[in-house]
A and B are shown apart, each in its own frame.
Chain A
Amino acid sequence: MNQENTTAWITSCKLNESGWLVNGTMSVPNDPANRHCADVLQWIAEGNTPAPEFTDLEIAANAQSSINSESLEYLKSTDWYITRQAESGVEVPADVTTARAAAREAIV
């Protein structure tokens, strides 16, 4: 007798922080009392395997995004050296100049 829990509605499933991301939009918690969780567990029992949370491309993109964020933050935090040099002629320390150049190059 059908009690409603089925797996036919699951078209994609990958791991996420709380359980699974199903069909691209549903964040299903790993809570057995959740009806969707019960379906996902059944779907796994039927021999299916959830995809990893991130693909290799996404991992690379996330890493680059972090590098971009950190580099932008560093440039913002040292912009005052440039302003000071323009307004008063005080030289930018060499290590800062080098680090700023590296930060600019790191941003993609």
Chain B
Amino acid sequence: MTKARENSDYTGLAADIVAGDTAARAGRKNLILNGSMQISQRGTSFTGMTSSGTYGLDRYSHSIASAGTWSITKSSNAPSGFASSHRAEVTTAGLSGTGSYISLSYKIEAQDLQSLGYGTSGAKTSAISFWVKSSNIGNYSVWLYKYDGGRTISKTVTIDTANTWEHKSVVIDADTTGAIANDNTSGILLRLYYAAGSDYTSGTQQTNWGSGGDACDSSQVNLASTIGNYIEITGLQLEVGSVATDFEHRSYGEELALCQRYYHYVNQGNEQFNHIGSNYTTSNCYFKVQFPVTMRANPTGASTATANTYSAGSNIGANKPVTAALATTLSAQCFTSSLSGTAGYVSHIDLASGSITFDAEL
């Protein structure tokens, strides 16, 4: 057995590991961030979800169109070895129209996918695995979309027993056509469909890399059919290799830092006293927010925060609004307004309520 295999956490038969697998099993194998669903900077409960693009637990959003209303929670219900899971539950039933669908969505940064070797003769097979528990048994579709070239592939997993944790895996073929650009944009979109209309199920499922086929199995479960239907997922992993191996656990701090490349949350609790600024005018004070890690791209800044601003021993603005103005990948410029200070003075800004967020999600 090679050193790499000795270091592997793979617990199955060594014979299952084919040539080329070993490097990926030696560590840092999971291409998914927050696969154990531990990190949730935005909160732990999200209700009223009816449309795409809103993030809940870090790195995870949903793609949804005319598929009812859903709530998302960070659940403490999880299989042995995990502390949390991602739970989606129907709060208003309904899958209306042939183009309707709902899926869990996860986008992977292109430069993190170079180990797949796509677009070359050395392209690698990969494996997706996860723990899942649902109220509804049947077939669910795992769909990948490659942004460069627009190629897709879809695989099916079957949940056999309701309300029971099951471990599922699918193997994703190597794709020798179409390289993934080595940059900071979206490389692959991974979806796990909870339900889909006939536009995505009535034709031939795209089970090999290509284009034009359906995203879902024809017998795709309709989880959106009834209020209270749910699905819980954790331990999501994408790794190079033809066999799914045990989940790669990372420390909470490491996982948080990895997620902060895409989203950074500032509030009274984590950065109340950390801001020094200068009064640009008598009424505005500018200050800097330093990001803990370099963000993927210049982030969108948004603020619901208020602050107390102290200058020359006085509170020159109690609970005044904070605006996120400019941001680069390393830091942001924010300001408080409606102050009564002196231009040019240094000020100390204490966040009083609300939050400032910086979003560089894919």
Contacts and interface: CB of A to CB of B under 8 A. Distances in A.
A25 B52 contact: no
Interface stretch (B32-40, B118-126, B128-136, B321-329): B321-329
Nearest to B65: A2
Interface in B307-354: 323-327, 342-343
Given A27-B327, A29-B327, A69-B343, A34 B63 contact: no
A75 to B, nearest CB: 12
B194 interface: no
A28 interface: yes
Contacts, number: 79
B61 A4 contact: yes
A90 B54 CA distance: 69
A82 B52 CA distance: 65
Contacts of A69: 281-283, 343
A7 to B, nearest CB: 11
Nearest to A31: B298
Contact of B302 (A1, A26, A33): A26
The 9 closest A-B pairs by CB, nearest first: A33-B297, A31-B298, A29-B298, A27-B301, A18-B326, A26-B302, A36-B300, A69-B282, A28-B300
Given A6-B51, A28-B300, 12 more contacts: A1-B145, A5-B53, A6-B53, A26-B300, A26-B301, A27-B324, A27-B325, A33-B184, A33-B185, A33-B298, A34-B360, A69-B283
Interface of A: 1-6, 8-9, 16-18, 25-29, 31, 33-37, 65-66, 69, 72-73
Interface of B: 51-53, 61, 63, 65, 105, 145, 147, 152, 184-185, 189, 215, 281-283, 296-304, 323-327, 342-343, 359-362
19 contacts: A1-B145, A4-B61, A4-B189, A5-B53, A6-B52, A9-B53, A16-B325, A25-B303, A25-B304, A27-B324, A27-B325, A29-B300, A33-B298, A34-B300, A35-B300, A36-B359, A37-B300, A69-B282, A69-B283
